[in-house]
Amino acid sequence: MLTSAVAGFSIAIALIVAIGAQNAFVLRQGLRREHVVPVVLACAASDALLIMAGVAGFGSLVTDRPGLLVAIRWGGAAFLLCYAGLAARRALRPGALLPTDRPPTTLGATLLACAALTYLNPHVYLDTVLLLGGVAQQHSHRWVFGAGATLASAVWFTALGVGAQRLAPLLARAIAWRVLDAIIAVVMAGLAVALLAA
């Protein structure tokens, strides 16, 4: 059982640590010190739900419907391109970069954006439902594997949200925020192009 838990944790952390829409959003919220705990909880809970769906075998339902995969791919790519555009606009407008330069968003709007970045991103389904779910099927203790993967997600998002606050002094200058948003824009656009090319 311990082997399955460690395998789940290790594989999940390797997938989650790669910068993506969720990570970029949690990092930005952490740097702004805005609704960090609810965002971390929402990301961890969403990952837990999707990982458990994969462990339960829901991945086969998606792979059996090619039309659904195409719709998810195109919709997700469009969403990621829009998010990239917003990040690029922030990078080009220095007045809107520092956390104190713009009014805080409401908790509801923040959680809605978090949910959109999670559930409209096809990479989340590929990593959690399909990949982790598929690997879990190879373990005799698949639910323990899933628990390990879920723990990895919770640990990572907590570390990212809380750790981002320690980066705040480094990102106290507008140029640092411009660079961060430029990187986020490039990564999101790259993910969108990769989806369309798949």
pLDDT tens-digit readout, 112-147:
999 998 888 877 887 788 878 878 888 889 899 999
| Residue 158 pLDDT | 93
Q: What is the mean pLDDT of residues 67-86?
A: 76
Above 70 in pLDDT, residue 100?
Answer: no
Query: Is pLDDT above 70 for 155?
Result: yes
> Could you tell me if 145 and 8 are in contact, meaning their C-beta atoms sit under 8 angstroms apart?
yes
pTM metric for this prediction? 0.71
DSSP output for 62-125 = HHT-HHHHHHHHHHHHHHHHHHHHHHHHHHH-GGG-SGGGSPPPPHHHHHHHHHHHHHT-HHHH
What are the tokens at 28?
């930005």
Q: How many residues can be counted in the chain?
A: 198
Q: Dump pLDDT digits (tens) for 85-99.
A: 887 887 887 554 445
At residue 133's C-alpha, the angle toward residues 162 and 196, to 5°, is 80
Q: Which two tokens stand for residue 131?
A: 């990949």
- Reference 182, options 92, 64, 73; nearest CA is 92
Phi, psi angles (nearest 5°) of residue 185: -60, -45
CA–CA separation, 122 and 94 (whole Å): 31
Q: Give me the half-sphere count of Cα atoms (radius 13 Å) on the Cβ side of residue 101.
A: 12
Asked if 15 and 127 touch (Cβ cutoff 8 Å), the reply is yes
Mean of all residue pLDDT scores within the chain? 82
